[in-house]
Amino acid sequence: MAKRRTHSSIDKLPAGLKAAVTRMIVDNEWPEDFPHPADYDGNPRYEDIVTYLQLNGYTASLSSVGRYGMRMRTLSRMREAGAITREVMADLTDEKASQTQKAVAEMITAVCIEFVSGSETLDAKEIQKVAQAMRDCTAIAINSDKYIREQIKKKAADADKEITKIGKKTKLDPETLKMIREQIYGITG
């Protein structure tokens, strides 16, 4: 079995330089100490990051910058998804609990799993962030299912009360009430 790499050349950079590279990738921000950033059109490219590292006395291949870039963009999207998930969980109301929420949570979880399984260079903090996003998504799916089950149970109880009330008013026989409960409303017991 092939040995998995745990750190890229970018991970070994000094914290300030690594942060500048991350901002170049995630925020499309040119560092202040980049020579003549006004001369460059648009966002920093991987080639620009390699040049920037060389100007600061470090080397990294274009492919390692690309792998790091893909990892950082994915982690940024995961953080955003986790924040949205936490916001939705904090404000879970009758209108928001739905199968759609559950589907979205399951999709985000699938993306997290795909990302983690395809990455060779996640460190402990990054794994923790992905795990937190997965935990939040799982909580949404579970709470959504629980809410839906509670709503179905409540509707069935309300329907049973209404059927009983109507049955008493119209003097329906108990067997007819039982049939209405079971066949029309699916209430048993």
What is the per-residue pLDDT for 130?
74
What is the per-residue pLDDT for 35?
80
Measured N-to-C along each axis, helices 62-90 and 46-55 cross at an angle, to the nearest 10 degrees, of: 110
- The string of DSSP codes covering 34-98 is SS-GGGS-SSPPHHHHHHHHHHTT----HHHHHHHHHHHHHHHHHHHHHHHHHHHHHT--TTT-S
**What is the identity of the amino acid at 16?**
G
What is the per-residue pLDDT for 189?
58
* pLDDT per position as a tens digit, 33-64: 888 766 666 788 899 999 999 999 999 999 98
Q: Is 97:140 a contact under the CB 8 Å cutoff?
A: no
Tally of domains within the chain: 1
Residue 73: inside a domain: yes
* pLDDT per position as a tens digit, 115-134: 666 666 666 777 777 777 77
Residue 59: inside a domain: yes
What is the per-residue pLDDT for 124?
73
Residue 10: inside a domain: no
- Identify the domain containing residue 156 by its residue range: 15-184
What is the per-residue pLDDT for 52?
92
**Consecutive 10-residue runs of the chain (189 residues): their mean pLDDT?**
59 90 88 75 86 92 88 76 66 57 68 64 72 75 76 80 79 75 66
Measured distance CA(48)–CA(54) in Å, rounded = 10
What is the per-residue pLDDT for 17?
93
Residue 3: inside a domain: no
Select from 104, 103, 99 the least CA-distant residue to 82.
Answer: 104
Residue 80: inside a domain: yes
Q: Locate tokens 């795990």: which residue? A: 131
Residue 9: inside a domain: no
What is the per-residue pLDDT for 152?
78
What is the per-residue pLDDT for 8?
74
Record the pTM.
Answer: 0.49
Residue 2: inside a domain: no
